[in-house]
Structure 1
Amino acid sequence: MEQNKTYEDLSGELAAAQRELEQLTLRLAETTAQLEEASETIEAIRDGAIDALVIKSDDGPQLFTLKGSDQTYRIIIEQMTEGAVTINSDGLIVYCNSQFAAMVGIGMEQVTGQYFSHIVSQNDIVLFNRLFDEAWVTPVKGELNVKNARGETFPVLLSLNPLKLEEGPFLSLIMTDLTLQKETQQLLRSKNDQLEEAQEIARNLNQNLEATVMERTRALEISVLQKTLAEKELRRNQEQLTRILETMVEGVQIIDGKGELMYANPMAQRIMGITLNGSENPYHDPAYPRFKMDGTPLAPDEDPLNRVLRSGKPVFDFEIGVQPPGKHKFFLSISAAPLKDEQDQVIGSVGTFMDVTQRRKVIQQKDEFISVASHELKTPVTSLKASLQLLNEIKDNQAVSQEIVPKLITQANKSLNKLSVLIEDLLNVSKIRGGQLVLNKQHIAIYDLLAECCEEMHQEHRFNIRLSGPQQLFVDADPDKIEQVLVNFLNNAMKYAADSKEILIQVATAGESVKVSVTDNGMGIPADKIPHLFDRYYRVDNSGTQYSGLGLGLYICAEIIRKHDGDIGVESEPGKGSTFWFTLPLAG
């Protein structure tokens, strides 16, 4: 329907469509009533509830008396507009009237003896079989599709009733063609759709008319109440935005077109030491000098917010260093975007920044780790290579070989063992990061495991290792992994407390756990380094002394103990030695 029709045209079409819909509805009701009357008449004839019929024809009404005459019944059945069929218990057609034969387009002599299901549409076979089974008990009805001799399908109403004759049980089927009724229903739906479309267009016209009237009314009359509500909504939005900015974990700063600071949220004020009480609010505070990542000073015009003012283009994740007075340097990641007016002119810029100092530390630790790992791996490889080269040179000199070969082999084995330990640490870290650290738990006495480990360490080193504590404490743990933790503790004690000479291992209960402590009398650890001891890549460097290692040992130990649902820690003071400890749940 065209949208540019007038409201009067649409109203006229709507009224005409409603009248046509009412006529179609009336015709459908009349057809349905006739169908129901015919069905009731046939059932009454079948049940013997009536004695006579008056049938209207072109020659006038004719009276038929029902006195058991089969011929009279056949005349009545033949004059029906519905198809009538009698089928036996096998579903075979034993009788049909001429109307049924005409409906399916098959001669009466050909219909008799066929299965009724052969004319049912394949899609409705299941429904027909259900009706066929139920009809032997009680009369049933159902709508389905049948096909004629040309293969064309059409809708019908089937009424199935049981018959008890002298020859046995049969079913009476009355088949009513619903084609006209379905077409009428489709026409009704089409007219109803047209009616709804017309009503929708009328509603749209009414809505457009009402909207136009309301828009003109609002344009002419803006009440004080509406202004108040708008101002109240604006204030509420501003308050919500302010609360969001004040609670953000990122700093937010806004500068105007001249580069003057207009706004800084609490996080920005805290990080940058900004105060907004004075009349002047310089964006670049000389007390907080800024640096590029290469350490050179950051010029004001290189700052992301100022760059955005000049270019009008956003800047993302620009990292700088800031040196606050009396504090450690920290690093920021800044993202900035332009603020524009209605003419798309840049009038300022807004920037968000977050503290990425920890991220920079991790990057630095990784860089240092790569450097240390390269050095640590290079040392045993170089030593191993030298031993092998020397062995190759003297292999044919029998006099020299007898003296130096064992030493070279021992040196090569030491280098190879050190290389294996370093590689094992790297593999363990990879497994931990990938969640692939697997434990092979066993029921073990922790004291016996520690004693065996101490014996091996005592034979390899000159330290006096003393073990004390109860011997009958059992845990469910991976003995190889726990031995790895203890060996790491002992190696650290021997490395960082070389003058201690004595190392004490103590076993004790701690609630529902067993606690293992390793104590040395070395130099101790500064308090500010203790929180980082179990971090990945962390290496303690005291008094400028460099120690070998990748900085992975304690990190791996911590992950192993946590995997066992235990705890790990250290107690130390400078000059008073250190005690590294871990706990494991006692076996139930």
Structure 2
Amino acid sequence: MNPIILDFEQAKSKHLLFKSRLRSILYDIPVEEGPVLSHHECSVGKWIYGHALAAYGHIPEMHELEMIHAEIHISARKLVALHKDGKSQEARNGLSEMEAVADQLVNLLGLVEKKLENDPGNHEPIAVLNFNPEEYNDLLRSNAELDKRIKQQIADNNESSLKYEAVLSALHEGIIIQDSAGVLISANQSAERLLGMTADQMRGLTSMSPDWGSIAENGEPLPGELHAPMLALKTGLSQINQILGITKKDQKVVWLSVNSQPLIHKETEEITGVVSSFFDVTATREYEALLKDSVSEQQALNEELAASNEEQAAVNEELISTNEELTVSQESIRHLLEKVEASESRFRFMLNAIPQQVWTATADGALDYVNQVVCDDFGYNTEEIVGHGWQAFIHPDDLENCLKKWLKALETGNEYVVEFRLKFKDGNYVWHLARAVPFAENKEILLWLGTNTNIDLQKMNEQRKDEFLSIASHELKTPLTSIKAYNQIVQKISDPEKLRPFLKKSADHIARLERLIGDLLDVTKINAGKIYYAQEPVNFRELMAHTVESVQHTTSSHEIILQTVPEITYSGDQLRLEQVLHNFLSNAVKYSPEAGKILVNGKVDEDNIIVSVQDFGIGIARENIDKLFNRYYRVDNTAMRFEGLGLGLFISAEILRKHGGSFWIESEIGKGSTFYFRLPLQNIQKPEVTKTTTFYRDRHIIINYNQTQRRLDVDWTGFHDEESVKHGCLILLEYLQNNKSDRIVNDNTHVLGNWSEAAEWVGNIWFPMMEKAGLKYFAHVFSPSTFSELAARKSIDIMAGIITTQFFSDVDAAELWINNQP
């Protein structure tokens, strides 16, 4: 072969090898040697500067060749830098532009080769090249092998991407994917519909972006760092059923149930991102907006009940619509299954990333696969669940109906739809809607593809609604019936003196009905967030004195004694705060019929106003105290003696919560009860904090690392709310990690009042974070406050994990127990 042709073919092969090695690096394909990024040091550069210019001279084409070669290496260095910064897709996108310039270099080499071949002159290659044809063939083979591997990698990546995008598009739930920094990188069509933004508008946003306008379940603004995806990224734990509201661009609020699953690298165990699914629960929240209109007479009540029935019908229609949409999702997934058989491992990964139970069964109905969500819910691995079958987890009362419908579906080949309760690893049963469709080929069923959707929240709301309507109907009908009877008697009596007692009794029942209606309307306004709270200076002495005087006029059986009153001005809604104290005093009168006095006290304690109302009546059993938070609860042993829906305490609790306060109860059977409420005062002084590596102190918590016993000793003090509990718990997490401890003595002896509003956060969020940080043993010393003890028990009851916990009434016993742990 002509030496010039061989020389230029060698140069082209070296250029192609450089390009293949660059593509291998950008597509994460292992190679023995990466591309040389210096245009002087690479093999083509050495050919140009160390050989070609000397052999063929500085002809114009050679100068152009130098410029193009340098431009290629500048682009290559930029692409490799992007890849190292984690921007691999952006680097791959830029590769095509660089390769267009690289093609110009190959073309130019061909032009120079032909020019020299036609007019060689004195341009013979330098003899010292010692060109080896075998080396040339090795270059060609290396190029071909690398090119083949790169094309296969690109094809595999494109196939996986297309399949995953198809799965996301087919789902009715909104799906978003965020990277390890919380930046949104992908959103499906359902996410666009629910959030009111296109995927392009959302891409690049984080949970902290102001575009979301998020609202917590309690109606307060929800900081971005507390969004489920951000908590999943921070803790590495799944976040299940977080309820939040999103204000869309049209100012409408959509309420969502959000589930987030962190994506963890199999080898490095680093969190690489998070995938979240969510669906609309706006209609569910609206179930609680009951009895909005006046119920001043029986006819109005009947109309309200009819309206509620219509609302239930609308909900059923919505569920049917949702079922139809889920059917579409099922059909879409069924079609996708055939396409992803060649990449089964990737398909399994995608199913595991979806926070919903997904399963498949053979043509004859035998369960053969469940995704990771099922395993996490049941506490078994895939093989164990498949071995047990659904029968081991379905509630016994639901099993017969499920089997009947499943056998019917297998017989007819029709869609399988059923509602049942599934037993989770904590022993509780959770309502699910199961749907399965057959996958057939040539009219022969090959397998069944199914999903189980958690509908427990909807079921609970339906039950609460039915119970509320039943109680409300009974309570409102009772005074109306009595009024009707007294009116019939009045019509038969002509003597005014004989009429007087019946008119008084009728008036009493009308007042009772008026109070019930007022409470119902307040509950409706609270649920709808429509109660307005004024912020004005309130003379607290006058407020307490006026309310005591007002209630004293309504009773002659009790003396209400105002013992101590704080001389202070408070900023709040005076009428609503009077309503709270009025409710406490009315309850004290009602539940102490045999007592003759009620004691009322107020004081300022630790930047809080504390008010107490003490009666000497029947008392409340310990097991019933925590139930008084429930909106419709009446203590069982007094239900027949004392009237009322039990809404007063719920309304009072909501009023106090809006003022940043709380209430609690101390009671003893046969001796009476003391109802307390707390209102925080603004403290403009900066809190004093003492902090070292092993010791921490502020006004709410003291933490000391006991190096001898390798434990953290924690002393909580004073009154607490959700904010102070979360702050102290996160400080405690920091000290557990930094001191590498695995045990805590948690002393609540000096805790006052009630912190139950933070109990669920402690159980569901904080304890899993502490377990991941290394906590194994937790000794809790009770507070003298009943409500504080109940909050502690609740947080432990709902805790998921394997932390060993024990309750104590004194610190010495707690320390002895924890020191004896291994």
- When normalised by structure 1's length, the TM-score is 0.51
Residue identity in the other structure for 2:462? I
Counterpart of 2:421? 321
1:287–1:431 Cα change, 3 Å? closer
The question of whether the paired residues in 2 share the 8 Å contact of 1:489 and 1:580 is answered with yes
For 1:269, the equivalent position in structure 2 comes to 375
Task: Give the corresponding residue for 1:561.
Answer: 656
In structure 1, the residue matched to 2:581 is 486
Residue in 2 aligned with 1:384?
A: 483
Whether contact under 8 Å (1:334, 1:351) holds in the other structure is no
> Which residue is equivalent to 2:571?
476
Paired position in structure 2 for 1:346: 445
Stretches of structure 1 that go unaligned for 5 or more consecutive residues are 1-221
Q: Aligned runs of 1:390-539 on 2, under 5 Å?
A: 390-395=489-494, 398=495, 401-402=496-497, 404-461=498-555, 462-496=557-591, 498=593, 502-520=597-615, 522-526=618-622, 530=626, 533-536=628-631, 538-539=632-633
Aligned pair count reads 353
Q: Is the 8 A contact 2:359 2:367 kept in 1?
A: yes
TM-superposed deviation, 1:355: 3.9
Quote the offset at 1:320 in angstroms. Answer: 2.2
User: Which structure has the larger Rg over C-alpha atoms?
Assistant: 1
The one-letter amino acid of 1:321's match is R
Query: What is the SS of the residue equivalent to 1:281?
Result: helix
Query: Could you say if the C-alpha distance between residues 275 and 440 of structure 1 is closer, same or farther in structure 2, counting changes exceeding 3 Å?
Result: closer
CA distance in 2, matches of 1:230, 1:577: 77
* Closer, same or farther: CA 228–511 of 1 in aligned 2, 3 Å: same
1:291 is paired with a residue of what secondary structure?
A: helix
Deviation at 1:583, TM superposition (A): 3.2
The residue aligned with 2:820 is none
Q: Kindly state the Cα deviation for residue 299 of structure 1 after the two structures are TM-superposed.
A: 4.3
* Counterpart-to-counterpart distance in 2, 1:424 and 1:279: 53
Choose between structure 1 and 2 for higher RCO, CA contacts under 8 A separated by at least 6 residues: 1
Distance in 2 (CA, whole Å) between partners of 1:246 and 1:579 is: 52
For residues 492 and 284 of structure 1, what CA distance do their matches in structure 2 show?
50
Whether 1:298 and 2:401 are equivalent positions in the alignment is: yes
Task: Tell me how far 1:544 sits from its aligned partner.
Answer: 8.3
CA distance in 1 between counterparts of 2:385 and 2:379 reads 16
Change (3 A) 1:271 1:465: farther
1:226 to 1:239, Cα distance in 2 relative to 1, 3 A = same
Normalised TM-score (structure 2): 0.38
Distance 1:369 1:434, change over 3 A: same
Cα deviation, 1:396-421, whole Å, max 9, x if unaligned, reads xx3xx32x222112111101100111
CA separation of 1:437 and 1:228: change in aligned 2, threshold 3 A:
closer
User: 1:93-149, CA deviations, whole angstroms, 9 ceiling, x for partnerless residues?
Assistant: xxxxxxxxxxxxxxxxxxxxxxxxxxxxxxxxxxxxxxxxxxxxxxxxxxxxxxxxx
After superposition, the C-alpha distances for 1:332-360 in whole angstroms (9 at most, x for unaligned) are 23142325255464333333334434432
SS of residue paired to 1:319: strand
After superposition, the C-alpha distances for 1:159-192 in whole angstroms (9 at most, x for unaligned) are: xxxxxxxxxxxxxxxxxxxxxxxxxxxxxxxxxx
What amino acid is aligned across from residue 509 of structure 2 in structure 1?
Answer: S
Task: Judging by fraction of residues, say which structure has more helix.
Answer: 2
Shift of 1:259: 1.9
Cα drift, residue 393 of structure 1: 0.9
CA contact (8 A) 1:514 1:583 kept: yes
1:371 corresponds to 2:465? no
* Residue 374 to residue 340, structure 1, CA distance change in 2 (3 Å): same
Which residue identity lines up with residue 421 of structure 2 in the other structure? G
Task: Report deviation, 1:518.
Answer: 3.0
Deviation at 1:264, TM superposition (A): 2.4
Partner of 2:644: 549
* Residue 252 (structure 1) shift: 2.7
Counterpart contact for 1:473–1:586, Cα < 8 Å: no
Q: Sequence identity, in percent?
A: 27
Residue 251 of structure 1: aligned partner: 357
Q: 1:342 to 1:500 in 2, by over 3 A?
A: farther
- 1:524 Cα offset (Å): 2.7
Give 1:83-94 correspondences, 5 Å limit: none
Structure 2 letter corresponding to 1:302: K
Aligned to 1:332: 431
The amino acid across from 1:556 in the alignment is I
Q: Which whole-Å CA distance do the structure 1 matches of 2:374 and 2:674 have between them?
A: 42
| Amino acid of the structure 1 residue aligned with 2:420 | I
Distance 1:497 1:325 in 2: 45
CA gap of 1:258–1:274, structure 2 versus 1, over 3 A, is farther
**Alpha carbons 2:439, 2:447 under 8 Å: kept:** yes
Summarize the alignment of residues 171-186 of structure 1 with structure 2, pairs less than 5 Å apart. none
| Amino acid paired to 1:301 | K
Provide Cα deviations, 1:78-103, integer angstroms capped at 9, x if missing partner.
xxxxxxxxxxxxxxxxxxxxxxxxxx
Matched with 2:303 is none
| Closer, same or farther: CA 543–387 of 1 in aligned 2, 3 Å | closer
